[in-house]
Amino acid sequence: MAKTKTASSTDAASGAVAGFEQSLTDLEQLVVQMERGEQSLDESLKSFERGIGLYRQCQQALEQAELKIRLLLDPQAPEQAEAFDHTRIS
């Protein structure tokens, strides 16, 4: 049963990570549109709401990628795998 859980976790991670680039691109375009200041208040609120959703999708994808890394580092106990320190990359 553990293998199925790990496999489904890996599949979920792959799906979330695959959509990251598109969500990030959409979010960047949305920010540019909003910064122009040409939208009505209603349009701005809708854009802001969409932006929050895109931000959350990106955050989830990053969390899934981190989980995938942890699973690769220690498949038997991913919760005990040492966190990846991105600040050590030069």
Interhelix angle 41-73/20-36, nearest 10 degrees: 150
pLDDT along the chain (90 residues), means of 10: 52 68 94 95 96 95 88 79 60
- How far apart, in whole angstroms, are the C-alpha atoms of residue 27 and residue 43? 15
87 assigned to some structural domain: no
E-state strands within the chain: none
- How far apart, in whole angstroms, are the C-alpha atoms of residue 79 and residue 39? 45
Token digits of residue 87: 């600040």
Give the pLDDT confidence score for residue 70 in this predicted structure.
84
How many structural domains comprise the chain? 1
Q: What is the pLDDT of residues 35-61, one digit of tens each?
A: 999 999 999 999 999 999 999 999 999
Domain span at 54: 2-73
84 assigned to some structural domain: no
Q: What is the domain-level CATH number for residue 40?
A: 1.10.287
Which residues, other chains included, contact 3 with Cβ-Cβ below 8 Å and sequence gap of 6+? none
The pTM of the full predicted model, rounded to 2 decimals, is 0.65
Give the pLDDT confidence score for residue 1 in this predicted structure.
44
